[in-house]
């Protein structure tokens, strides 16, 4: 049942990729620098449909770190930082940062090198991490044919694959060698087979990381570059790498989990959105995909970026206005195996549709913290942190789906947490019947989203009657700390870990971690649904 190569990969990963391990317990807030905060706190208008720069900067981000940290995030992912196409194009300006012209200069709209260093320093003072978005696959032109001499440092036509726009996404050669974009803004495909380009890109990412003390790299359009380009690039970065592989199949995406530390979990995102955007969405399709990913990806689902929204997809709140569906869907990334990523503005109920509508200016919200979804996110981040500290095995224990009694409910178990989700919608009164939830008989539990108490039954199961279609995230009160920020009035935590036989703080040595990974992999393998 256990494949030795997979086991070896897990051991190797835990031995070498210390940076991955440092990201494992993090929670990431994704922002578009131009749209997050202005440097002087002003609130200029920002019509997303115009696709122009609106005035956000790195200094603006520094000024709003309290806002991000108060929600419980301890990392940010910022949009690309390098110099882009200047001026207007058929698709507006390069405010999003994905239209590189010069990889060795910064985008001055967002500030200076010192401003970016100051952002990195300010994050590190708060024990927060900085993830920077990088584009390797292409440069952006403004005409067809493009002006190659405008690109730096790759200013010759011979540095690029010859012009052809991708026409067949089922042909991987086409996907890797032809161009994204169109004749208005061609995304000119770098010849990433050329050894000079490879070594330039590798040393570039290395200096980018060291110049700005970057902690992690999000890599754009990964599936458009040959797979064997990535291991050396990731190694050169020296930090955690997470790749965008926009594809709905775990079988396709899994290959990229072999060449980068991690991927954004797009295969799960598709059924996640479908499951919660309407009542009656298919929850089994979501759990089935997660189980596939758990077995197909190199590190299971553990290091994947688990997200509901990003800058490329219509916001979830453009698909439904049902508050209960929204809160259930938002809960998912925080109770799943991967590293949660939340796209800025979701907490302020932003509901922009497809690009460019989904890149609203956050200053127009006033950054109000006393809002239901802001509180929801605070509770979710707080609960995840409590689970991590209550069970040092939490982050390497794979999510299991328990029988919950109905098609419109899910019971997601990741001890000491049991998330009860539903897509019944706000007019539903969901009930979950989870006979073997794994709690201690009759133990006191709390729904960390409301701080309502309940008890496990004599078999450690739960029967829960909900209301208003709300999700519930149950944890033993003994797993919450009185000094924590989650339902601390009820918390009785302190000795929870040893009393429950969880591994306490002494589990830091490599053999023990390896044993955890082995055990969780074994547990996970037996779960594979064929």
Asked whether residue 407 is marked as a ligand-binding residue, the answer is no
Q: Which helix (H) or strand (E) holds 328?
A: helix 323-335
What is the spatial distance between Cα 433 and Cα 462, in angstroms, rounded to a whole number? 6
Q: Is 218 left (phi over 0), alpha (psi -120 to 50) or beta?
A: beta
Question: Is residue 159 close enough to count as binding ligand NAG by CB under 6 A?
Answer: no
Non-local CB neighbours of 480 within 8 Å, separated by 6+ positions: 386, 390, 446, 448, 486, 487, 488, 490, 491, 492, 493
Contact 379, 386 (CB under 8 A): no
Q: Confirm whether residue 124 is marked as ligand binding.
A: no
Select the span of 174-182, 186-194, 295-303, 344-352 touching ligand NAG (CB under 6 A): 174-182
Among residue numbers 286 through 325, which ones bind ligand NAG (CB under 6 A)?
288
Contact between 52 and ligand NAG by CB under 6 A: the answer reads yes
407 vs 455, which CB is nearer to ligand NAG? 407
Residue 218 counted as an annotated binding residue = yes
Please report where in the chains the tokens 């059924």 appear, as a residue: 271
Selected range binding ligand NAG among 169-177, 321-329, 431-439, 478-486, rule: CB under 6 A: 169-177
Q: Is 220 annotated as a binding residue?
A: yes
Among 42, 108, 156, 171, binds ligand NAG (CB under 6 A): 171
Query: Which of the ranges 61-69, 193-201, 252-260, 277-285 carries the binding residues for ligand NAG, by CB under 6 A?
Result: 277-285
Q: Any alpha helices (H) in 64-178, and if so which ranges?
A: 65-70, 113-125, 172-177
Burial class (CB in 10 A: 0-12, 13-18, 19+), 166: middle
The answer for residues whose C-beta is within 8 angstroms of residue 5's C-beta and 6 or more apart is none
Residue among 211 and 278 whose Cβ is closer to ligand NAG: 211
By CB under 6 A, tell whether 174 contacts ligand NAG: yes
> Residue 408, interface with ligand NAG (CB under 6 A)?
no
Contact between 211 and ligand NAG by CB under 6 A: the answer reads yes
Instruction: Indicate whether 108 belongs to the interface with ligand NAG (CB under 6 A).
Output: no
Out of 93, 115, 220, 360, pick the active-site residue. 220
147 belongs to the binding site for ligand NAG (CB under 6 A): yes
Q: Is 138 annotated as a binding residue?
A: yes
CA distance 382 to 332: 14
Cβ distance to ligand NAG smaller for residue 112 or 147: 147
Tell me if 137 is assigned to a ligand binding site: yes
Specify whether 249 is catalytic: no
CA nearest to 341, candidates 76, 77, 21, 28: 28
As a whole number of angstroms, the distance between CA 22 and CA 119 comes to 20
What are 252's two structure tokens?
A: 């396709």
244 is catalytic: yes
Question: Under the criterion CB under 6 A, does residue 150 sit at the interface with ligand NAG?
Answer: yes
Which entry of 34, 74, 133, 244 is annotated as an active-site residue? 244
Report if residue 6 touches ligand NAG, rule: CB under 6 A: no
Q: How many other CB atoms are there within 10 angstroms of residue 127's CB atom?
A: 9
Burial 28-48 (b: 16+ CB within 10 A, else e): bbbbbbbbbbbbeeeeeebeb
Q: Which residues bind ligand NAG (CB under 6 A)?
A: 21-22, 25, 50, 52, 74, 88, 90, 92, 104, 147, 149-150, 164, 171, 173-174, 177-178, 204, 207-208, 211, 248-249, 282, 284-285, 288
- Give the annotated binding-site residues for Ca(2+): 137, 176, 189, 220, 224, 244
């Amino acid at each position: 049942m256990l494949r030795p190569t997979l086991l070896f990969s897990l051991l190797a990963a835990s031995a070498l990729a210390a940076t991955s391990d440092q990201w494992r317990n993090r929670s990431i807030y994704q922002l578009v620098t131009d749209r997050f905060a202005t440097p002087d706190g002003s609130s200029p208008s920002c019509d997303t449909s115009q696709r122009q720069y609106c005035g956000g900067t790195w200094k603006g981000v520094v000024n709003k770190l309290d806002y991000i940290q108060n929600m419980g995030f301890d990392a940010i992912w910022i949009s690309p930082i390098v110099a882009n196409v200047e001026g207007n194009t058929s698709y507006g300006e390069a405010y999003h940062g994905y239209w590189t012209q010069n990889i060795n200069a910064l985008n001055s709209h967002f500030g200076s090198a010192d401003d970016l260093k100051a952002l990195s320093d300010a994050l590190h003072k708060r024990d927060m991490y900085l993830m920077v978005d990088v584009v390797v696959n292409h440069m952006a032109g403004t005409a067809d044919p493009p002006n190659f001499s405008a690109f730096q440092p790759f200013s010759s036509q011979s540095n690029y694959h010859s012009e052809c726009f991708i026409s067949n996404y089922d042909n991987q050669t086409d996907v890797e060698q032809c161009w994204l974009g169109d004749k208005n803004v061609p995304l000119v495909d770098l010849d990433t087979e050329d050894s000079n380009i490879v070594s330039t890109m590798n040393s570039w990412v290395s200096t980018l990381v060291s110049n700005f003390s970057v902690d992690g790299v999000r890599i754009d359009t990964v599936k458009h570059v040959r797979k064997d380009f990535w291991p050396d690039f990731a190694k050169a970065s020296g930090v955690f790498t997470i790749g965008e592989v926009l594809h709905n199949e775990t079988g396709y995406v899994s290959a990229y989990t072999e060449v980068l530390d991690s991927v954004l979990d797009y295969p799960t995102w598709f059924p996640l959105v479908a499951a919660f955007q309407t009542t009656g969405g298919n929850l089994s399709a979501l759990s089935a995909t997660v189980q596939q990913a758990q077995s197909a990806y190199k590190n299971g689902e553990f290091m994947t970026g688990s997200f509901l929204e990003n800058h490329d997809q219509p916001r979830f709140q453009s698909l439904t206005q049902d508050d209960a569906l929204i809160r259930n869907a938002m809960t998912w990334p925080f109770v799943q195996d991967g590293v949660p990523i939340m796209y800025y503005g979701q907490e302020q109920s932003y509901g922009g549709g497809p690009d460019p509508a989904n890149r609203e200016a956050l200053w127009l919200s006033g950054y109000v913290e006393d809002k239901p979804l802001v509180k929801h996110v605070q509770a979710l981040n707080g609960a995840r942190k409590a689970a991590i500290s209550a069970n040092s095995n939490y982050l390497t224990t794979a999510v299991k789906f328990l029988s919950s009694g109905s098609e419109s409910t899910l019971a997601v178990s990741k001890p000491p947490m049991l998330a009860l989700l539903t897509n019944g919608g706000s007019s539903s009164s969901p009930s979950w019947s989870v006979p073997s939830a794994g709690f201690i008989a009759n133990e006191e539990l709390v729904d960390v989203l409301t701080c309502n108490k309940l008890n496990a039954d004599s078999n450690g199961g739960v029967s829960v009657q909900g209301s208003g279609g709300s999700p519930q995230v149950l944890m033993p009160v003994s797993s919450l700390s009185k000094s924590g920020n989650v339902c601390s009035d009820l918390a009785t935590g302190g000795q929870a870990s040893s009393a429950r036989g969880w591994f306490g703080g002494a589990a830091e040595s490599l053999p023990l971690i390896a044993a955890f990974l082995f055990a969780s992999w074994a547990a996970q393998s037996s779960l594979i649904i064929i």
